[in-house]
Chains A and B, each alone.
Chain A
Amino acid sequence: MMTLKQSRRLQSVLLGTLAWAIALLLFFPIFWMLLTSFKTEIDAFATPPQFIFTPTLENYLHIQERSDYFKFAWNSVTISFGATIIGLLLAVPAAYSMAFFETRLTKQTLLWMLSTKMLPAVGVLMPIYLMAKSLGLLDTRLGLIIIYTLINLPIMVWMVYTYFKDIPKDILEAARLDGATTLQEIVRVLLPISKGGLASTALLSLILCWNEAFWSLNLTSSNAAPLTALIASYSSPEGLFWAKLSAVSTLACAPILLFGWISQKQLVRGLSFGAVK
């Protein structure tokens, strides 16, 4: 017969094992990509897959010779940060008005905003392409910043709205009684309280912008092409390419993985902010 202490210990071990198993399962594709990037093309295609092989850096050297990695990376950084900053500047006032001055249409407005995410992107390719062409925004970073801002805005408004809803209205009322203007109320009171939530919203937007491929491939050619376009350039219809594709994918993922790793504390705190009341 197990004691309560033993039973709890067993439960904790089982849960820990399960958590590790899920974590390893989620991490495996990234691990495999990293491993493949150090293989030759023939090793990368081998069946059964090889775990033990002679590592090579030739794929990374090939990428360095053929492509201007830093140009693509700089475009990714500018576009992702640009779209995230503008997105936050729009999402915060929108969420503020919806969270603290709710009307009978607020819920419907929120649902309508989210419903725009359900439209397949290819459905609006032609009109957006024509608009971008007419406005001279094809192959420009500004064009992609505008598109990414609009794509991510519904999710950003929803997230910020959820965080704002958890903040007691009394705090804002107290600020108002002290003579704070709306801007002061938002900047001096609301934003400092919800900075964890805003950080996680910004991070999520950054990740979504960084990984977006459809619009970046369709609206850019050379000047504004981000890392997703660089990855696409290493896929080949004729010949073996998995190892090179893995190397370029590793290089493309590395900055955002590193950024996520550094800011994971903020991200976890922000994500659990709205969940625990």
Chain B
Amino acid sequence: MKAIYKAFFAMAGLCTATLVHAETITIATVNNSDMIRMQRLSKTFEEQNPGISLNWVVLEENVLRQRLTTDIATQGGQFDVLTIGMYETGLWGAKGWLEPMKDLPSDYGVDDLFPSVREGLSVNGTLYALPFYAESSITYYRTDLFQQAGLTMPENPTWEQLGEFAAKLHQPDKDQYGICLRGKAGWGENMGIISTMANAYGARWFDEQWQPEFTGPEWTKAATFYVDTMKKYGPPGASSNGFNETLALFNSGKCALWVDASVAGSFTIDKSQSKVADHVGFATSPTQVTDKGSSWLYAWSLAVPTSSKHKQAAQSFVTWATSQQYAQLVAEKDGIANVPPGTRKSTYSDAYLQAAPFAKVSLAMLEKADPAHPSAKPVPYVGIQYVTIPEFQAIGTSVGKLFAAALTGQMPVQQALQAAQQSTLREMKRAGYPK
């Protein structure tokens, strides 16, 4: 009988100890396929770390951004792991709101991360988030339409060349449009593509004294090209097309050309969602007078806020989810083509390049991306398709609205650029620039 009591108390003690040490970490993330896969596969992490259980909060991107900003600014401590981009990492890291990613395990392979991605997630050389997946922008085109028209896509096209191809392939009576680009207003929507286009034309958001340059010849050329090409050879109602809408147009066979995020590569060749899966070609993001800043760089990353009450557990999850072991787990369970792209050199093995035909182009763009030098001219900021200053979200969206207005014909390009110059200058002065 005594033995039974002893066993009972030993079990009770063990349970209590487990309960005392059990930690629940709350992870805020977005509803992207890679993140949903991470959620599914994270059971492996829980099995490997019995003292840690995971609580998932999945939100829409804009809601997530607003929610996280509120929580981190008030030190609310609602989340232990944040899914954020390079823009937030730079700002929040500098404010001391994020835990530095120090003391990473030796087998993590921090040198395996792409330097551009690492740099984009660091402030003064300290890493504040670990990259989960990264993307650049690339050119998608319809190989069947090019073949029928006797056209050949160069490996490194320019915007003017794309404009010429678009003119030749534009057949609206057949529901086939020459080129599809984002038109929906927003710093993360139309301004993503317009900023990289402007960079390719040699433009920059601000000069060294933080003076906006919208009325300069580079911006004028880029904006005129964007608006004219989209008006002549773009789909109707382009000003309401964001990433998803343009993806749907391309996948339903209505676009001959498309320049957008490399993450769309796997969607365009997936037969369950693309009608043109067998006819998609990939080329680098277009350049014009320069290739500097002509392809964007964005990394969805995992960070631990200083307000977290379970920092150690959170960091061990972040390390696991961004590790080579996790990439191997994805390859084993879901196939090598589904490994989170763009963060590690080791991902781009021959097997991966074969399984993901867009990966080679995407890799070339990622290796070339340099957020610290996004323009042919010197700039006082970091960021290719965005500027890492707190004011940029509002400024970018406001300028995006003006470009959308020019696209719908509500105002001429020159007027939109003038208005962009004035509103940006006003906001920058109000914010205390030049600093």
Contacts and interface: CB of A to CB of B under 8 A. Distances in A.
B244 A238 contact: yes
Contacts of A139: 78
B325 interface: no
Interface in A28-86: 40-42, 45-47, 66
A235 B65 CA distance: 14
Nearest to A239: B33
B74 A225 contact: no
B244 A42 contact: no
Contact of A238 (B67, B78, B263): B263
Chain A interface size range: 20 to 34
Interface in A138-169: 138-139
A42 B273 contact: yes
A15 interface: no
A49 to B, nearest CB: 12
B247 A240 contact: yes
Nearest to A223: B55
A221 B74 contact: no
Contacts of B79: 221
Interface stretch (A126-134, A175-183, A184-192, A204-212): A126-134
B32 A237 contact: yes
Contacts of A238: 32-33, 243-244, 261, 263-264
Contact of B76 (A138, A232, A241): A138
A130 B75 CA distance: 9
Given A232-B63, A233-B59, A133 B26 contact: no
B248 A237 contact: no
Given A125-B70, A222-B57, A239-B267, A234 B31 contact: yes
B36 interface: yes
B152 interface: no
B313 to A, nearest CB: 16
Nearest to B135: A238
A46 B78 contact: no
B252 interface: yes
A42 B33 CA distance: 16
A108 interface: no
Contacts of A236: 30-32, 60-61, 244
User: In terms of DSSP, what is the predominant structure of the interface of chain A?
Assistant: loop
B248 A240 contact: yes
Contact of A240 (B67, B74, B77, B244): B244
B353 interface: no
A217 interface: yes
A126 B75 CA distance: 12
B108 interface: no
A218 interface: yes
B269 to A, nearest CB: 14
A236 B247 CA distance: 13
Contacts of B56: 222
B57 to A, nearest CB: 5
Given A239-B267, A240-B244, A46 B252 contact: yes
Given A42-B251, A240-B247, A221 B30 contact: no
Contact of A45 (B55, B58, B252): B252
Contacts of A130: 74
Interface in A227-251: 229, 232-241
A235 B252 contact: no
A222 B26 contact: yes
Interface centre among A218, A222, A241 (most CB of B within 10 A): A222
B413 to A, nearest CB: 28
Nearest to A235: B60
Contacts of A232: 59-60, 63
A125 B66 CA distance: 11
Interface string B1-37: 0000000000000000000000000101011110010
B31 A235 contact: yes
A129 B273 contact: no
A125 B275 CA distance: 45
Nearest to B189: A237
B234 to A, nearest CB: 15
A115 to B, nearest CB: 26
B272 interface: yes
A61 B244 CA distance: 23
Contacts of A235: 31, 60, 63
A48 to B, nearest CB: 10
B104 to A, nearest CB: 27
Given A236-B31, A237-B61, A129 B267 contact: no
Interface centre among B55, B76, B252, B261 (most CB of A within 10 A): B76
Contacts of A40: 272
Interface in B222-254: 243-244, 247-248, 251-252
B74 A133 contact: yes
Contacts of B26: 221-222
Nearest to B62: A237
A46 B273 CA distance: 11
A47 B36 CA distance: 28
Interface string B392-411: 00000000000000000000
Contacts of A237: 30-32, 60-61, 243-244
B273 A41 contact: yes
A129 B74 contact: yes
Contacts of B274: 42
B183 to A, nearest CB: 16
A41 B78 CA distance: 33
Contacts of A126: 70, 74
Contact of B272 (A42, A217, A221): A42
B57 A225 contact: yes
Contacts of A221: 26, 28, 55, 57, 78-79
A221 B32 CA distance: 18
Interface in B38-82: 39, 55-61, 63, 66-67, 70, 74, 76-79
Interface string A195-227: 000000000000000000000011001100100
5 contacts: A45-B251, A125-B70, A133-B77, A235-B31, A240-B267
Given A42-B252, A126-B74, 11 more contacts: A42-B274, A46-B252, A47-B252, A133-B77, A138-B78, A221-B57, A221-B78, A222-B26, A236-B60, A238-B264, A239-B247
4 closest cross-chain pairs (CB), A and B: A233-B58, A235-B60, A237-B61, A45-B248
